[in-house]
Amino acid sequence: MGKLSRLDQIMDYLKGHNLVTVEELVNVTESSPATVRRDLIKLDEQGVISRSHGGVTLNRFIPTQPTTNEKIYKNLTEKQLIADYAAQMIKAGDSIALDAGTTTLEIAKRITQIPVRVITSDLHIALFLCEFKQIEVTIIGGKVDDSSQSCIGEHGRSLLRQINPDISFISCNSWSFNKGVTTPTEEKALIKASFAEKANKVVLVADSSKYDSYSLFTSISLSKFTDIITDTRLDTESRILLSNQAFKLHIAD
């Protein structure tokens, strides 16, 4: 894995400390105070941090749904490793449900040679996979959410209630031990929950940068998952906590 970007260095440091000063971040990133302040202004505008006279804290509440374009290159290495691991769970003849998201899109890229049936809410995934003759693609339909270019609403939920996939892969923008998978909108929460209802295996695919953050609406409690796949940057304390649950924790490296 290459050197972390300056913003990633700042985020990593914030995750391990309650209150951080500009001077600390200057030392951590080996950057000038002016450069660090510009980065903090950017993170503040995105709602990622809270700034005060005493310093900077990480804001773990995510108020809005980020767009696909905003997410697609973020933590890409981790998403690719998670997708590599997830794809190994899939075998020829399986029916799999792919929730909308950039991590599930990476899974789709890894199954093009496997004859499977795919049910998805994600327009990007559906358009990509329908190019491959050995893959049968069903898109759930309904209203399109413009931030994620995916289907939401009762029409899609009704279809999901009628299917029994072998594996359902669910992605998210925020997850935590106490609050589970959360979303900024009720419609997104309901559609994600529908993906988890009837699958034989329900697998959360979520990189560690999203752990211990939350949005307004709870979609799925972690107890509903059979498996969780995340990356090596999940801290040791969280790994121990999650490893002692009914689901199986997988660390992709």
Mean pLDDT of 207-226: 93
Buried b (16+ CB within 10 A) or exposed e, 189-210: bbbbbbbbbebebbbbbbbbbb
What is the structure's pLDDT at 212? Answer: 84
Tens digit of each residue's pLDDT (9 = 90 or more) over 80-132: 999 999 999 999 999 999 999 999 999 999 999 999 999 999 999 999 999 99
CA angle 167, 226, 116 (to 5 degrees): 10
48 pLDDT above the threshold of 90:
no
CA distance 95 to 219: 23
Query: What's the chain's length in residues?
Result: 253
* CA 109 – CA 26 distance, rounded (Å): 39
Total-model pTM: 0.79
Fold of the domain built from segment(s) 68-252:
Rossmann fold (3.40.50)
Average pLDDT score over the chain? 91
Percent of the chain scored above 70 by pLDDT? 96
∠ CA 13-17-21, nearest 5°, is 75
Mean pLDDT of 189-196: 97
Say if residue 10's pLDDT is above 70.
Answer: yes
Domain locations in the chain? 6-58, 68-252
Q: pLDDT at residue 68 above 80?
A: no
End-to-end CA distance of the chain: give it in Å, rounded: 10
**Res. 193: pLDDT tops 90:** yes
pLDDT score at 62: 78
Q: For residue 253, with 0-12 CB atoms within 10 Å meaning exposed, 13-18 middle and 19 or more buried, which class applies?
A: exposed
* CATH of region 6-58: 1.10.10.10
> pLDDT-derived band of residue 18, with 50, 70 and 90 as boundaries?
low
DSSP letter string over 199-224?
A: -SEEEEE--GGGBT-B-SEEEE-GGG
Residue range 194-209: mean pLDDT, rounded: 96
Condensed to tens digits (0 to 9), the pLDDT of residues 122-159 reads: 999 999 999 999 999 999 999 999 889 999 999 999 99
Higher pLDDT, 225 or 67: 225
Does residue 78 carry a pLDDT above 60? yes
Confidence of residue 3 (pLDDT cuts 50, 70, 90): low
For the ranges 23-27, 115-119, 214-218, the maximum mean pLDDT occurs at: 115-119
Per the listing, tokens 């009720």 go with 186
Name the residue with higher pLDDT: 213 or 183: 183
